[in-house]
Structure 1
């Protein structure tokens, strides 16, 4: 049996390889995904299509390749999993995008129902926009 922790690790390992499909497959249809702050990518996106159109497509359009995650720690309790990670990427302008992440995911029925990304928002703006 796959745990929520294992699933979150798996989808971000696949994202690191440039394959976002496992992440999309793991999202509940009515997922709520929040990026903190006031960056062009910040906000709460509700539903898979809004996540794709409002977050994932704009993010990928600003990157020269995949974001490569290095996992530091996972903390799981009940339906909640916290992922502490570092990530490296390069923006389309050639600037490094090396951010630190704290992602809080809440699962329901084996799918990600809510996600909140705590990141260096100033870096998001300066490196990607």
Structure 2
């Protein structure tokens, strides 16, 4: 039986909290596109890999408060804490809207604000 998209996202998130970037990226399409609304756009798995190497040099701590799925989309609402450019821990609120294709994460629209 094929896994549902919510389960796939939960497994991907579990990998990232362990610092397993490649484990997370295994759940993404090669042409994945990540849009951090108002900030930047990452095109392709390699761009995401490079971004994660710095942004997630230390695994983030996050709490998913709601996970909603319909069709090819899963929306995650929650809180995330990670180190900023100065090495200080910063806390954010986020809403991630994921689009899935063939059981993999193909697109992310991330709305993130400092808490």
Q: 1: distance between equivalents of 2:9 and 2:100?
A: 10
Query: What is the TM-score when the length of structure 2 is the normalising length?
Result: 0.87
SS in 2 for 1:101: strand
Listed as ranges, the gaps of 5+ residues in structure 1 are: 124-129
Matched, 1:46 2:51: no
Residues 12 and 69 in structure 1, CA contact (< 8 A), matched pair in contact too: no
Q: What does residue range 96-111 of structure 1 map to in structure 2 within 5 Å?
A: 96-111=89-104
Residues 17 and 68 in structure 1, CA contact (< 8 A), matched pair in contact too: no
Q: How many residues align?
A: 114
Matched, 1:113 2:106: yes
Q: 1:81 aligns with which of 74, 84, 89?
A: 74
Query: Deviations along 1:7-63, whole A, 9 cap, x unmatched?
Result: 1112112211222222200110111111112xxxx321111112222x2233135xx
Residues 93 and 112 in structure 2, CA contact (< 8 A), matched pair in contact too: yes
Listed as ranges, the gaps of 5+ residues in structure 2 are: none
Higher helix share: 1
Higher strand share: 2
RMSD: 1.9
Q: What does residue range 1-129 of structure 1 map to in structure 2 within 5 Å?
A: 1-37=2-38, 42-53=39-50, 55-60=51-56, 65-91=58-84, 93-120=86-113, 123=114
Alpha-carbon distance change, 47 to 92 in structure 1, aligned in 2, over 3 angstroms: closer
SS in 1 for 2:54: helix
